[in-house]
Amino acid sequence: MGINIGMAREEVLSFADERDILKVPKNRDVEFFTVEERKILSLSIQPEVPHIYLQFFNDRLYAITVIFDEKYVDYYTLSGTLEDKYGPYSALTPRWRQWIVEEIEIKVEKPAVVKYIALEEFLEVTDFKGRGEEKRSERKEVLIDGL
């Protein structure tokens, strides 16, 4: 669509303003986070894409979530399109398929959602870096032992 990971917030807004297809609501900023540097911008393409969420950290786009209306585009169409564009998926569950392209995670999820996430920036912003595999494996062991 012309919006890319790494763009500045003002670049995205300017791009959206120049295209009639992208709708920028008056109340376009969604405040999910108390952290000042993290912002979410909401866009849409009516009626096919009622929600596009763009997540910024330090004014740079690091995650895009595109929620399609299933009446127009379904999970299997999205999966096929991404496979044609990026090749075979790298991971699969009953609920999603995932591709990793140049440190960008691309995931298509049921019912009809596509997510693009810059992994390094996402880990920094969400503070997942501090959680090591050892902690996860210890937690897993405790959970399994509790069965």
Listed by start position, the domains of the chain span 9-145
Average pLDDT, rounded, for the chain: 85
- pLDDT tens track for 84-136: 999 999 999 999 999 999 999 999 999 999 999 998 877 776 665 444 555 55
At 4, the pLDDT band (50, 70, 90 cuts) reads very high
Q: Which long-range contacts (CB under 8 A, 24 or more apart) does 6-14 make?
A: 6/60, 6/61, 6/62, 6/118, 7/60, 7/61, 8/59, 8/60, 8/61, 9/39, 9/41, 9/56, 9/59, 9/61, 10/59, 12/41, 12/54, 12/61, 13/41
